[in-house]
Amino acid sequence: MKNYQILERELIKSPRTWLVTGVAGFIGSNLLLELLQFGQRVVGIDNLSTGHRRNLEEVRDQVGSARWACFNWMEADITDRLACRKACMGVDCVLHQAALGSVPRSIVYPEITHHNNVSGFMSMLIEAKDAGVKRFVYASSSSVYGDHPALPKVEDQVGDCLSPYAASKKANELYAAVFSKCYGIECIGLRYFNVFGPRQDPHGPYAAVIPKWINSMLRGDTVVIHGDGETSRDFCYVKNVVQANLCAATICNPNALNTVYNVAAGGRTTLNELYEMLRIHLIKERPDLSDASPAYDDFRSGDIRHSNADIGKARRLLNYQPTHQIAAGLIAGLKWYLVNPVTVVNTSQRRSTECYPTRTTRSVVCSSP
């Protein structure tokens, strides 16, 4: 962590102004926490379609009133160009996390996925460019590797996209590359690999696997694994992702700019292995898990079979040094879930169980499972 500690000291010494999109979401709120703890000024934008007010409240309680005063939050949609323009004013760096995630959701709602992930991305990119923002760091995804069979995944070897979500993230990478060439804005894309950790929502039909399984186990429900359980992923604790964003935002090496990087731990865990790790960790809380076993269902359309990242490029050019492999990340993440058991959705803190912005930016279409 030597390089990151140096970065921390530099940021505390010379604070910047940051824009975090999707700030009330899982990764966005973790970025907000780190930036405020580093004494930075932060603007945040979120429409609360998948984010939560409670995430912001938790960050506020952790950083205290003085540092919280350095945060300005806008409840707005990234497809609202005027809102994006206002958010980008006076900003040094954009950390763009806002998106409608989930491969299965994109297959059900391809147009809405495109509207949020591509049109919204374009709105942010244009307004950042026009506002003179120097650095634009954005969340891409390991899904862009598609059907390319090679393992580990290397940045310049991608296959055909297998879902609208993957296509939307690939489009982001193409637009970022074009904007850097045409307009000079410095863009860095981060291909996240199965991020997990505190404040990741376990609810809804499109919840990520780790929080969803933790929630099921704590409730005593049977975990359902899609496929035979030998599907593997490179699970990455959110602290690693926060570090990668800040490294990408501040790196001075010109050779590190205007490209994409894998952000992961560099490991590979099957779903069967993941289930067993969680089961063992949670037995103290749920003794009945000592005899528990998962149920198996069909493979999901659009899912890739195996995912494992080569993080050498990020290590070399961004000084990225992941601190948490999956075992350490699960221990840290489980502490949060045990202290903050979100087994029941608080409808006063979000609009509904699942909300999907329509093409009209200020309205939402909501449905409950």
Q: Annotate 162-188 with three-state secondary structure.
A: CCHHHHHHHHHHHHHHHHHHHHCCEEE
Q: What is the CATH number of the domain that holds 158?
A: 3.40.50.720
Q: What are phi and psi of 64, to 5 degrees?
A: 90, 165
Interval 103-118: pLDDT, tens: 889 999 999 999 999 9
**Residue 210, both tokens:** 């780790």
Identify the helix (H) or strand (E) that includes residue 196.
Answer: strand 195-196
- The pLDDT assigned to 341 comes to 62
pLDDT score of 1: 55
**What is the distance between the alpha carbons of residues 43 and 184, in angstroms, rounded to a whole number?**
23
Residue 85 lies in a domain: yes
* Tens-digit pLDDT profile for residues 171-191: 999 999 999 999 999 999 999
Query: In sequence order, what are the residues at sequence separation of 6 or more whose Cβ sits closer than 8 angstroms to the Cβ of residue 59?
Result: 29, 32, 33, 36, 68
Is 177 a member of any domain?
yes
Residue 303: the pLDDT is: 80
Q: Residue 342: its pLDDT value, please?
A: 57
Give the Cα separation of 198 and 217 in Å (integer).
17
369 located within any domain: no
In a domain, 286, yes or no: no
What pLDDT, on the 0 to 100 scale, is given for residue 369?
27
Tally of domains within the chain = 1
Rounded distance, CA 83 to CA 77, Å? 7
262 sits in which H/E element:
strand 259-263
**What integer pLDDT is reported at residue 261 of this predicted model?**
98
High-pLDDT (> 70) share of the chain, %: 91
- Name which of 214, 240, 217, 241 is nearest 337 in CA terms: 214
CB 350 within 8 A of CB 366: no
Q: If DSSP codes are grouped into helix, strand and coil, which group holds residue 226?
A: strand
> Does residue 200 lie in a domain region?
no
Q: What is the pLDDT of residue 365?
A: 31
Asked if residue 87 is part of any domain, the answer here is yes
Q: Is the dihedral of CA 308, 149, 145, 357 positive or negative?
A: negative
* C-alpha dihedral sign at 57, 60, 65, 67: negative
Kindly state whether residue 361 falls inside one of the protein's structural domains.
no
Any idea of the CA torsion for 72, 77, 83, 85, to the nearest 10 degrees?
100
Task: Please tell me the total number of residues recorded for the chain in this structure.
Answer: 369
pLDDT of residue 202: 85
Would you state the structure tokens that stand for residue 235, as one six-digit string? 């699970």
* Other residues' Cβ atoms within 10 Å of the Cβ of residue 150: 12
Q: Write down the pLDDT at residue 142.
A: 94
Domain membership of residue 162 as a residue range: 2-194+238-266+306-324
- Please pick, among 145, 165, 237, 261, the residue that the annotation labels catalytic: 165
What residues of the chain score a pLDDT lower than 70?
Answer: 1, 205, 341-369
C-alpha dihedral, 45 to 46 to 51 to 53, nearest 10°: 70
CA distance 244 to 137: 10
Q: Measure the CA–CA gap between 265 and 267, rounded to whole angstroms.
A: 6
Distance CA 71, CA 142 (A): 31
pLDDT at 285: 87
Bridge partners of 140, per DSSP, are 191
Rounded distance between C-alpha atoms, residue 269 and residue 308, angstroms: 9
Active site residue 165: yes
Cα–Cα distances (Å) from 187 to 18, 43, 80, 128, 136, in that order, read 15, 19, 21, 11, 5
pTM: predicted TM-score of the whole model, two decimal places: 0.90
In a domain, 273, yes or no: no
